């Protein structure tokens, strides 16, 4: 799913020495990645709707019906995850427009190009994300 996306095929941005962080070229690069992911996800949603309409069959056998319902539930769960990702992408595109993209929401430092290449919707620097995950583990115990 998300690992197969076209943005993974794009050449990562290579920062030139002395280049300002989150300049117009970098912002354009990440905008292109985010829009590419969003387009692909929206295409998946469209395909799912058509597939579910085409495969809407009523099976007499309870096992076949259960299998179909299980497949539909899994598909809907995936679409829900993708819907949430589309929302994050829209928020990231808005941060690009506001000049806030690429900076940590928690401490304000640069998130870093490599982290943004790996997760273009990232809102936290690696240190703040690590702390957040540690807190989540402690709460879960």
Residue 48 has pLDDT above 90, yes or no: no
Token couple for 117: 């290449």
Residue 22 CB neighbours (<10 A): 18
* Nearest-angstrom CA–CA distance, 119 and 4: 14
In a domain, 63, yes or no: yes
In a domain, 2, yes or no: no
In a domain, 75, yes or no: yes
In a domain, 55, yes or no: yes
* CATH, residue 73: 1.20.120.910
In a domain, 13, yes or no: no
Q: Give the mean model confidence (pLDDT) for residues 6-32.
A: 84
Average pLDDT, the chain: 87
Domain count, the chain: 1
In a domain, 122, yes or no: yes
In a domain, 64, yes or no: yes
CB 57 within 8 A of CB 68: yes
C-alpha distances (whole Å) from 75 to each of 28, 44, 87, 102, 125 are: 33, 11, 18, 32, 32
In a domain, 11, yes or no: no
* Nearest-angstrom CA–CA distance, 140 and 128: 18
pTM for the full model?
0.81
Domain residue limits at 30: 20-140
> In 3-state terms, what secondary structure has residue 124?
coil
Confidence of residue 2 (pLDDT cuts 50, 70, 90): very low
């Amino acid at each position: 799913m998300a690992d197969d996306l076209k943005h993974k095929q794009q050449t990562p941005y290579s920062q030139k020495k002395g280049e300002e962080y989150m300049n117009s070229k970098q912002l354009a690069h990440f905008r292109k990645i985010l829009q590419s992911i969003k387009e692909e996800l929206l295409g998946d949603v469209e395909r799912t709707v058509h597939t579910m309409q085409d495969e809407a069959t009523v099976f007499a056998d309870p096992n076949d019906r259960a299998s179909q319902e299980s497949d539909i539930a899994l598909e809907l769960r995936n679409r829900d995850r993708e819907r949430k990702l589309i929302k994050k992408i829209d928020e990231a595109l808005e941060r690009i427009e506001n000049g806030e993209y690429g900076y940590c929401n928690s401490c304000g430092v640069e998130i870093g190009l490599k982290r943004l290449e790996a997760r273009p919707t990232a809102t936290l620097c690696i240190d703040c994300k690590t702390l957040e995950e540690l807190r989540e583990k402690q709460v879960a115990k």
